[in-house]
Structures are given as structure tokens and as C-alpha cells.
Structure 1
Amino acid sequence: MPAKARYRDFCRIAPDVPVYAQAWYLDACAAGGHWDVVLAHDHDRVVAALPYFYKQKGPFRYVTMPPFVKMLGPYLLPEYRGVLKKEHVLLEELLKQLPDFAAFKQNFYPTVTNWLPFYWNKYRQTTYYTYRLSGLQELARVEAGINRNIRRNLQKAQQLVRVVHDYSAQRFYELNKMSFDRQGLSMPYSWAQFERHDAALAANGARQMFFAVDEQERIHSAAYLIWDKQAAYYHLSGDDPALRDSGAGILLIWEAIRYASEVLKLDCFDFEGSMLPAVERIRVQFGAVQTPYFFVWKYNSRAFELLEKLKP
């Protein structure tokens, strides 16, 4: 059986494969490239996996992060974690099976704390940060940890807008694009890409959209929450630049946290970054804890590395 077929079966029985690494999720996000996976076994049983997404640029084939995938990297079944000898053997086995690439670049999950076999194989690592709220089943305690400035914004927004879920994915995309337009940035994905992404999440019961709407039916802000069995992720958002002063974006963050706690019954809320100072401050004001994750990379082609450095 091909590795991808075995991995699809593995995802159905493994207890905590993150949403980003689910086969159906990678299927939906692989526009512009392809995804594949290498597997490690214990007595013919799949116990570890390393999915990866690769693209072609001229003669160079390279591994990178696909659109909408914040984190990827190696996954080991729970009983194989925490014992370094076991982890090292499995990670080495995964690395041996990777095809030759001009470069390899992946963000690992925050739960992956051992990248030593990658280091032994001449990979390099940079630490990035996401921000996480834990203990969501004690929502009153989480709410008590919110900064006073955030509380004022919440109270203001609650008087100006209501939160609904029944607008379309197309409308969300338009709000999302407004935020990129306001910053003078190109939209990193097309409507067709987002539509495919949204359809996969909806089909698998793994997303909810939030819209902050005023009495004139104007949408001030929109947020897009996704989840797996371990955590909810504040995946995407957007604002109408003309209506940003209402504080609706702050309100939607809180509503997404409440949804993760009360509806999804999850214990962890992940903000999906960010490393930007202004964004980081908001995460911390919500009481989120700075949580490190690894960006692991390696260049096997000097020519491709130079080409990357010449990019504007």
C-alpha cells in the first residue's frame, strides 16, 4: 500500500494528529504543489509520520509550508513520546526516507520538543512563538486574566455589534482581503484556494466563522476558528478598515475563546502566532502564554540557497 494511503488509515486511528497534518486537510491545501509522507514502523505498525509539502521551481524541488498550514513536522504516537531513545530511532528512520530536496523548511508543532536527530543530520533551527490559553474549562479564571484595556474594548464592542455565524465563506474572504489591502499586502491565497480549504473544514466539522454586525447590518469584523481534538486555533480574521474603531475584532477573539470552551469543550486556544509586536501585545493582554515552536530547515543545494537569498 502506498505511504499516503497508509497515512490516511493512520490518521483515522491515531488519537491526536493535529488538524494541519490530517490527510484531508493537506489534500485541500496542496494547491501549487504536492504533499507526501514518510512513515516509521514498529513490528509492521505505523507509529510515526512526517508529512511534507513540496513545490518545483525550475530544476529545484523543495519542501516548504503549504497555504493555511501553520505547523507540520514529525508526529509520534503518544506511547513513543518522552523516551529519547525511542524518539531518536523513529526520527532517524523518518529522516532516512525523505527524498532528495534542494531545501527543507517546516514549522514544527509546539508539542515537538526534540529536534536533535535533525541537528545530527545537519538541519538548523530557529525558535518562533505562538500564544496559547490553557485551562479553558475554567472559563471564569481565563476571563479574570484578561487585561483591563481588553475589557474596555469588549464592553464597547458589545454595545455596538452582535455576533452571528450565518454569513458565507465568500463574505468572510472579502473581509479577510480587506485587512491585507489596508496594509498594502498581496492576498496570499485566491478565493478558489480558500473555498476549497473552507469546504474541507466544513465537511469534517472543524471550523466556525464569526461575524460582528451592527444595527445597519454592516460587518465590522470576521474571524475563522478551526480545531482538532487538542486545541482550537484562531486561524484567520479580517476587518472593515472604516469600522475598526468599534473593537469588534477584540470581541470576536473572546467569542471564539468562549466557543472553544463551551461548545467544543476544548482546554487549549492557540492564537497561531504572531511574532509581530503589535499583535503579540494583544495576545498577552488576553492572558495567553508565549509558547515556543521550532522552525527547522536545511539547504541541500547551494544554488537554490543563493536563489532564495536573491528574492526581494
Structure 2
Amino acid sequence: MQTASDRYRDFCRTAPDVPVFAQPWHLDACSGGGAWDVALADENGRVVAALPYFFKQKGPFRYATMPPFVKWLGPYVLPEFRGVLKKEHLLLEELIKQLPTFAAFKQNFYPTNTNWLPFYWQQFRQTTYYTYRLNGLHNLAQLEAGINRNIRRNLQKAREQVQVVHNLGAERFYALNKMSFDRQGLPMPYSWAQFQRHDAALATHDARQFFFAVDAQGRVHSASYLIWDQQAAYYHLAGDDPALRDSGAGILLIWEAIRYASEVLGLACFDFEGSMLPAVERIRVQFGAVQTPYFFVWKYNSRAFELLEKLRP
């Protein structure tokens, strides 16, 4: 008999728009330190909705959370059932019913998920966060015309100092990415081994590209990492050399990633993968990106685990 995850793998081969974050091969690569499984809802013997989840164990507590490199999860419903509220509610209720009893459940839903009402009915809670999206990438000239004057100056400045290449590899990218965390005094949130697994999975499925800004002396100023699915490209990770940040190379790499999503990938949407930080938000808006809400949906089933989380630094 097939497991739920086996059925989900089969489902994802034909479902039209499962985001890259929820693809089984991506979850396989990102589930170090935990495991993933899925709740499924059927109609007439076929899967029509799915809710993948990642869970970890801390002492006696098993809890569902977001794995590294996975920006969004949440329920996926086949397009034919979306927006038909009565049916959609029934499918979401069935998915919730199949979730194991966790000490806590925490997920960032996809920006395309606009209905969390059945979760509310089951005492889940929700906080709204924002990502920033550029739509209409087919009209690149119009997008470029909408860029803020300050961004234009940075682009011109960077073009005079660096060129953009793609071939410096995963280790070089990881080193630049780590520099950005070091500069802020933050621990690196994932190891080289974790990033390597993640990158290998995306490369195998032709779903990522590196961007490096390199000057005439061979110094790498900035690096960025674009991933994509059939619906959108996502500005997934980035890093800068702190000593070279004034060149504006990071701004140039954003634009080059947008251009790549439009001209090479032929996609209609570019997603900055969110940020609630004021300085980052300003840059997104200056590129003309539209503020787009998504739901962080959560629930504590264990008072002891909730207290433990609140006491954690």
C-alpha cells in the first residue's frame, strides 16, 4: 500500500502549479534535522488537495515548523476547486483533520493562499507578513521605466565597476552568503552540507542560477541565488563582501536576476521572498515591487512547549 508521501510524489507529477518549495524532491533535500510528511484530501479516488509539513523532535515534543530554505508551505488545492468556498472549506477541513497531534504547528502559507478560515475554526491563529512581487515580467521595458531614480544611479555605478558572471560555483556563493551574516554578528542559519544538498537538488531539476558581481581585479563584490518554478522566480539568497558593498553590485544583481527571469525563463512573476525589515522593504518598493500579503498560521497544542519556546533566547 502506498504511503501518503508516495501518493504525494505521484500527485506532484501531474498537478499544474505546485510551488518549488513544496516539491517532494525539494523537501527531501531540505529536511535535515527532521522529516516531512503530508496530509491528502481525495475526491473520487484521486488526490485533489495536499498539505505537506515538516516536523522535528525536541525532547518529548514533536512539532511542525518550516525547514531551512523553504519560504512557504501550506495547503495546495487543485485549480478547479479554488475559490469555490464550500468545496474549498471541506478540503481544508479534511487536511486539518489528518494532521498528527503536534506540540505546535507553524507554517508560512503561500502568497496565493487567501483562505485560512477552516484553520481559524480549529483554533489556529494567523499573523500577516509581506513579500514583494513584480508582475508582468513580459514587459521588461515598462518595469525598467518604473524603477526609482536612486536605484538607477546604483545600477549605473555598479555597471562601471563590475561584470556579472554565473560560473563561480556553490562554494564561492556560500562564502559570500556567510559574509553577510558575519557582518551582522548573526550565526549562519544553515551549514555548508545543508546548502550543498539544497543546491544539488535544485541544479538536478534545472531550477536555480548563481549571479556573481566581479571587478577587474577578480574580486567578488556580491552574489545572489535565484530559484524558480513554473509560476515565479524567487530571489532566494544573497551575500556581499562587506569591504566592497559601496559599489552597488547587490542592486545590479537584483536587476540581472529580474532580467533573467523575464528573458531566459519567460516567467511572469518575480518574488523577492519577503522581508519585514524597513531598509529591505524600501529597496523592494524602489524596484516597483507590489506588497503582497501571506499568512503565518500557527497553533500550540502543548502549554509546556509554548512556555519553553517563550523562554528560549
- The bucket for the TM-score relative to the shorter chain is over 0.9
How big is each residue's C-alpha offset from its partner over 1:52-100, in whole Å with a ceiling of 9 and x where there is no partner? 0000000000000000000000000000101100100000000000011
1:158-197, aligned counterparts within 5 Å? 158-197=159-198
Superposition deviation, residue 235 in structure 1: 0.1
The CA deviation string for residues 97-130 of structure 1, in whole angstroms up to 9 with x for no partner, is: 0011000000000000000000000000000000
Give the secondary structure class of the aligned counterpart of 1:295.
strand
Is residue 93 from structure 1 mapped to residue 94 from structure 2 by the alignment? yes
Equivalent residue, structure 1, for 2:213 = 212
Q: What aligned pairs does 1:118-197 form with structure 2 within 5 A after superposition? A: 118-197=119-198
Identical residues among aligned pairs (%): 82
- Residue type matched to 2:260 in 1? Y
Task: Tell me, in whole angstroms, the C-alpha distance in 1 between the residues paired with 2:140 and 2:88.
Answer: 35
Equivalents in 2 of 1:79, 1:247: separation in Å? 45
Give the C-alpha shift of residue 168 in structure 1. Answer: 1.1
Work out the CA distance in 2 between the residues paired with 1:3 and 1:128. 30
CA distance in 2, matches of 1:281, 1:31: 34
Question: Which residue is equivalent to 2:261?
Answer: 260
What is the aligned partner in structure 1 of residue 103 from structure 2?
102
Match of 1:57? 58
Report how far residue 279 of structure 1 moved: 0.3
- C-alpha separation between the residues in 2 aligned to 1:273 and 1:47? 28
SS of corresponding position for 1:38: strand
Where structure 2 has 5 or more consecutive residues not aligned to the other structure, the ranges are none
Query: Which amino acid in structure 2 is aligned with residue 87 of structure 1?
Result: E
Q: Separation in 2 of the partners of 1:35 and 1:276?
A: 30
Task: Provide, for residues 224-257 of structure 1, a one-character-per-residue CA deviation record: whole Å limited to 9, x for no partner.
Answer: 0000000000000000000000000000000000
3-state SS, counterpart of residue 288 of structure 2? coil
TM-score normalised by length of structure 2: 0.99
Aligned partners of 1:20, 1:7: CA distance in 2, in Å? Answer: 14
Which residue number in structure 2 is paired with residue 309 of structure 1?
A: 310
Aligned amino acid, residue 239 of structure 1: D
Report 1:225-304 matches (<5 A).
225-304=226-305
Counterpart secondary structure, 1:226: strand
CA deviation map 1:28-64 (0-9, x unaligned): 0001100000100000010000000000000000000
Check if 1:82 corresponds to 2:55: no
Determine the C-alpha separation between the residues in 1 that align with 2:165 and 2:298.
41
Unmatched segments (≥5 aa) in structure 1:
none
Q: Which deviations, in whole Å up to 9, do the C-alpha atoms of 1:155-197 show, x marking residues without a partner?
A: 0000000000000100000000000000000000000000000
Kindly provide the amino acid, as one letter, of the partner of residue 195 in structure 1.
Q
Shift of 1:3: 0.4
TM normalised by structure 1 equals 1.00
Question: What's the Cα RMSD here?
Answer: 0.3
For 1:223, the equivalent position in structure 2 comes to: 224
Counterparts of 2:134 and 2:154, CA distance in 1: 19
Runs of 4+, deviation exceeding 4 Å: none
